[in-house]
Chain A
Amino acid sequence: MSETSARLIRILLLAFLGVWLFFTLFPFYFQLITSLKPVAEINRMVPTFWPEVLVPGNYAGIFADPGSLKALQDSLVVALANTALSLFLGTLAGYALARYLKGPVGENLSFWILSNRMFPPVAVLIPMFFLFDNTPWGTDSYFSLIVLYLVFNLPLATWLMMVFFRDAPVELEEAAYVDGWKPFQAFSRITLPLVLPGMISVAMLCFIFAWNEYLFANLLTGTNVKTFPVHIPTFTQGSQTLWNLVMAFSLVAMLPPVVMFILLRRYMVRGLSLGVVKG
């Protein structure tokens, strides 16, 4: 390849990356500046891309608004509880599938579990409403969302944990038995630390789903419990949507998963220097 065509390819590549970067980052930039604009500036046709005045008052308003704070609290409760439950059940189920259910039974069972993730959620929207309406806690409760999100997160958690457990050498558990550890001790002391990076990845995936879910939360809850995606539409008053508040609130709502991701990123890399077995 000639030098000029190599340069041309390089320039085209950089141009593509530049456009891609713009499309990715511009919405966040626009979200940030809109969240700092006063009401008068937000609905201007030909919007201002460099705000004339920056007002931090929108953020102060959100933190002063009990409804917004309650929405963030509800989201945290639902997402954390569901993540913990998904991880706990998914880890145990994944371990059982990986170690005790080999062969066709285990393969069909694990695929059936994963296939639960494949149907369109809308198909069960109405049935789920009636189902939870008949529980003592009703639809509009922490219980309903925490349990409902298991339908989506548990198959994923189970399947992924099963894959991680399959990768963890059985020999290490056997060595632990020979050392004198009982099966559950061997599981918790030896195998669990080996799949910890995987568990953290699974936790992130579950948390993000439960944190962002709108469709079911909107139908089932709204009064007693109101997660933040359901709270956002309340910033529309009459014909006026307070875009500055919407942007400020959703920016705040973005923070928990982002912070979590940054803190846990290094554990998610499966780099735990294994050197267990020879070779």
Chain B
Amino acid sequence: MALLEIRGLCKAFDHVVLDRLDLDVEAGEFFVVVGPSGIGKTTLLRCVAGLETPQAGTVRVRGTDVTGLPPYRRNVALTFESYALYPHLTVFENIASPLRARRRPAEEIRRKVREVAKLLRIEHILDHRPGEISGGQKQRTALGRTLVRDPDVFLLDEPISHLDAKIRHELREQFHHLEELRRTATLYVTHDYAEALSLGDRIGVMGPGGLVQIGTPEEVFERPRSLFVARHLGQPTINLLPAALRREDGRVSLELEGCGARLPLTAEQAAALSARTGDRVVLGVRPHHIALADGAAPADGGLLEARVELYEPLGAKGVLLAELGSTRLHVLTPIDVHFRPGERVRLAFDRSAFLFFCPERGVNLVD
């Protein structure tokens, strides 16, 4: 039995946000919900915390149905995206708040708050008020207020999204090491796919109405079940090229629209798609699955000529925007080559990583 069990959860405001959502999070599991802003990730957390009442469905924690219980009768910890620190209380009192609510002895409160503060490296600001500390410290304080408890479920709402990149990375690393989070079930919400891939034991991609795909980070990233998932994960965004499946001399190949180029398919792809020859598809290729080729074209012809439109050197890698016929492609390049706009380059596609989607329904045709 999963520690956190969500069944058929429905929540609508003026429009439907969650539509019959099912989710199990096991003890010790770090589950990340990723999705665009405004899609209902926070609403999901608020339903689990008891701050929203769902119209239908149940939330069970350790087998107990808590759906109708107010937040203060659930043993669930939540960090707010806005931190929601009490401005008139010191950092110490902010962190101590859940313990005081449970009437723990003063000695235990002092000890536990110190422990958590030490873990989060905010011992030196325990006497400060939230107005006097930096964004990163506020975030750690908010996190401290949840870690100090011994909750059944941790709910973390975009805990590091509003910090600058450096602190964000530092805190992301810290999440990997927080034993507290690894002991119980954690539901972590973010719009940042990198956070999701880095932190999640499993991730769930949220689309309109609920979770559209659940799986390990590798599964979801490598084998997105839909265009929505493919588009949402990855930076630069996955390249989506309209194409048509053709059969010639018994071999299935792909004709790209706009430039007319033909790409051969692997045997498995050809087998999976042979029934659809003649159909239009959307080809998905991630920027790191396209390489720059020099020298002669490989025998199978998976090489296309394109024109450089823009090149961004980003330190560790470069992002090339190339024009291929009437479509544009993002390509990740090693940093030692530079490109000028207008230059011609040859692109080699990693065919084994091709994804095929139905242009109308957006589903992955091979998966």
**B88 contacts A by Cβ under 8 Å:** yes
Q: By the criterion CB–CB under 8 Å, are A171 and B70 in contact?
A: no
Contact call A273/B86, Cβ cutoff below 8 A: no
B90 to chain A, nearest CB (A): 12
- Does B245 make an interface contact (CB < 8 A)? no
CB pair A177–B70 under 8 Å, yes or no, is yes
Is B97 touching A179 in the complex (CB atoms < 8 A)?
yes
Q: Mark B73-94, 1 if CB is under 8 A from A, else 0.
A: 0001110111111111000000
Which residues of A129-163 have CB atoms within 8 Å of chain B's CB atoms? none
- A164-204 interface (Cβ within 8 A of B): 169, 171-172, 174-182, 185, 190, 193-194
Interface size, chain A (Cβ < 8 Å): 23
Report Cα–Cα, A59/B166, bound state, in Å: 71
By a CB distance below 8 angstroms, the chain B residues around A180 are 72, 98, 101-102
A178 touches B71 (CB 8 A): yes
Give the number of residues in B that approach A within 8 Å (Cβ atoms). 31
Are B138 and A194 within 8 A (Cβ)? no
Question: Is B234 at the interface (CB under 8 A from chain A)?
Answer: no
Q: Is the CB of A277 within 8 A of B132?
A: no
Residues of A within 8 A of B88 (CB): 193-194, 272
User: In the bound complex, do residue A171 and residue B101 qualify as a contact, i.e. CB atoms below 8 Å apart?
Assistant: no
Contacts of B129 in A (CB 8 A): 273, 275
On chain A, the residues within 8 Å of B81 by CB distance are 278
Q: Which residues of B have CB within 8 Å of A172? A: 84, 86-87
Per the bound structure, the CA–CA distance linking A19 and B292 in Å amounts to: 84
Most buried by B among A171, A178, A273: A178
Is A259 interfacial (CB 8 A cutoff)? no
**Cα distance, A275 to B134, chains bound together (Å):** 10
Chain A residues numbered 240-279 whose CB sits less than 8 Å from any CB in chain B: 272-278
Could you tell me the distance between the alpha carbons of A278 and B135 in the complex, rounded to whole angstroms?
A: 7
Q: Are A276 and B83 in contact (CB under 8 A)?
A: yes
Residue B51 is within 8 A (CB to CB) of chain A in the complex: yes
Distance in angstroms between the alpha carbons of A172 and B84 in the assembled complex: 5
Tell whether, in the assembled complex, residue A181 and residue B72 are in contact, meaning their CB atoms are under 8 Å apart. Answer: yes
Complexed CA–CA distance, A277 and B131 (Å): 9
A174 / chain B contacts, CB cutoff of 8 Å? 51, 71, 80, 84
B145 at interface, CB cutoff 8 A: yes
B49 in contact (CB, < 8 A) = yes
**Which chain A positions have C-beta within 8 A of B85?**
175, 275-276
Chain A residues near B51 (CB-CB < 8 A): 174, 177-178
- B72 → chain A closest CB, angstroms: 5
Name A275's contact: one of B71, B77, B132, B162 (CB within 8 Å): B132
A171 pairs with B71, CB closer than 8 A: no
Given known A174-B71, A273-B131, A278-B138, contact A179–B84 (CB-CB < 8 A) = no
- Shortest C-beta distance, B187 to chain A (Å), equals 14
Least CB distance from B100 to A in Å reads: 8
Interface flag for B224 (CB, 8 Å): no
Having A275-B130, A276-B85, one finds 14 other A-B pairs with CB under 8 Å, namely: A169-B82, A169-B84, A174-B71, A174-B84, A175-B78, A176-B86, A177-B72, A178-B50, A178-B78, A185-B101, A275-B131, A275-B133, A276-B82, A276-B84
Residues of A within 8 A of B (CB): 169, 171-172, 174-182, 185, 190, 193-194, 272-278
> Could you show 19 A-B contacts with beta carbons less than 8 Å apart?
A171-B84, A172-B86, A174-B51, A176-B101, A177-B72, A178-B49, A179-B101, A179-B145, A181-B72, A185-B101, A194-B87, A194-B88, A272-B87, A276-B84, A276-B85, A276-B87, A276-B130, A278-B81, A278-B82
Residues in B lying within 8 Å of A, measured CB to CB: 49-51, 70-72, 76-78, 80-88, 97-98, 101-102, 129-133, 135, 138, 145, 162
Closest 5 pairs (CB-CB, A-B): A275-B131, A180-B101, A273-B131, A177-B71, A175-B84
